[in-house]
Amino acid sequence: MMGRRTPRFTMTDGALPAGLWLIGLGPGDLGLMTADAIEHARACEYRFLEGYTATLPEDQELLLESVIGPWERAMRPMVEKPDKILSIAKESSVALLVVGDPMQATTHIDLESHCAEQGIDYSIIPGISATSLAVSISGMQSYRFGRQVTLPFAYGDYLPTSPLELIDANYTNNLHTLVLLDLDPTGMGVDTPQPMMPSQAVNLLQKMFEKLVEKEGSVRESMTVPIVEWDGILLSDLGTHEQRVVSGDLQDIATIEGGRIHCLIIPAEFTGMEREAYERRRG
């Protein structure tokens, strides 16, 4: 995908024209980068690795320079207030390297808007997304997924119930839910991410349930089964050599240790094939 003002380009032309290049690195293993992503990242004069919406495994991050050249880390303040990146992009080619697919986060869609407003050329090189991998590897049918949900850490006394309400809305419509677990307990996007673990996720869902019951004065009919008895599928470190997929009730999933980045699928009613796939993935 290219901005309207981006000139046609082939790798035989030499250096890339000035502008911002949003480049997807794939889900975590640099071996899954596309040839386009590698070639364009190498051709850019400046490279920034976005380091807060998703992260590379340490061994892959150490390899990154050998694959695409020197790079600088960009955390949330630099990306959400992109004056430095965009000022460079007016005169030179700049790659913003994003783990997964660059347009999965609203932050990066906003960057496209900034470029359009300032007359800066932009181009998007897609990558394999962990969210699409989660759906396909789970064994659940892709057309039966509802709205995706992010499960955030509680910040101080603030604990939203909206993630649980969205899961419930999907379930009552017989739709599965992909739940992305938060990466940053501070919410600031400045420090190295400390991803939420399965036990923390299940504990947060239970606390949300208790808060929702207190707010509404009763237990919803769709939530009479205790949270810990809900079916779930835990997907860890997708697209890496450490990838793991385990199904079971949330009580069992909460005991699973290890892994770096996790997401959950909360399934609705299974079809026959889905039930078989779920059973094959049990602990």
Q: 192 or 115: whose pLDDT is higher? A: 115
Note whether residue 122 is domain-resident: yes
Note whether residue 276 is domain-resident: yes
Same-domain status, 96 and 177: no
Query: pLDDT at position 249, please?
Result: 97
Same-domain status, 177 and 37: no
Q: 74 is in which domain, residue-wise?
A: 11-128
On whether the CB atoms of residues 198 and 256 are closer than 8 A, the answer is yes
Q: Taking the model in full, what pTM does it have?
A: 0.88
Same-domain status, 162 and 271: yes
Same-domain status, 98 and 24: yes
Note whether residue 71 is domain-resident: yes
Q: What is the DSSP string of 38-50?
A: HHHHHH-SEEEEE
Query: pLDDT at position 177, please?
Result: 98
- 259 phi-psi bin (left φ>0, alpha ψ -120 to 50, beta other): left
Same-domain status, 29 and 146: no
Same-domain status, 186 and 223: yes
Same-domain status, 211 and 152: yes
Last residue of a domain, one of 128, 146, 174: 128
Going along 42-176, which residue ranges are E strands?
Answer: 46-50, 72-74, 93-98, 122-125, 149-151
pLDDT tens digits, one per residue of 45-92 = 999 999 888 889 999 999 999 999 999 999 989 999 999 999 999 999
Note whether residue 5 is domain-resident: no
Average pLDDT over residues 262-275: 96
The single-letter code of the amino acid at 242 is: E
Same-domain status, 22 and 77: yes
Last residue of a domain, one of 73, 97, 128: 128
Q: Find the CATH number of the domain harbouring 251.
A: 3.30.950.10
Last residue of a domain, one of 111, 128, 145: 128
Going along 177-243, which residue ranges are E strands?
Answer: 177-181, 231-236
What is the rounded CA–CA span in Å between residue 219 and residue 20? 50
pLDDT tens digits, one per residue of 116-154 = 999 999 999 999 998 999 999 999 999 999 999 999 999
Q: What is the DSSP string of 207-226?
A: HHHHHHHHHHSS--GGG-S-
Note whether residue 30 is domain-resident: yes
pLDDT tens digits, one per residue of 9-48 = 444 455 799 999 999 999 999 999 999 999 999 999 999 9
On whether the CB atoms of residues 82 and 112 are closer than 8 A, the answer is no
User: How many structural domains is the chain composed of?
Assistant: 2
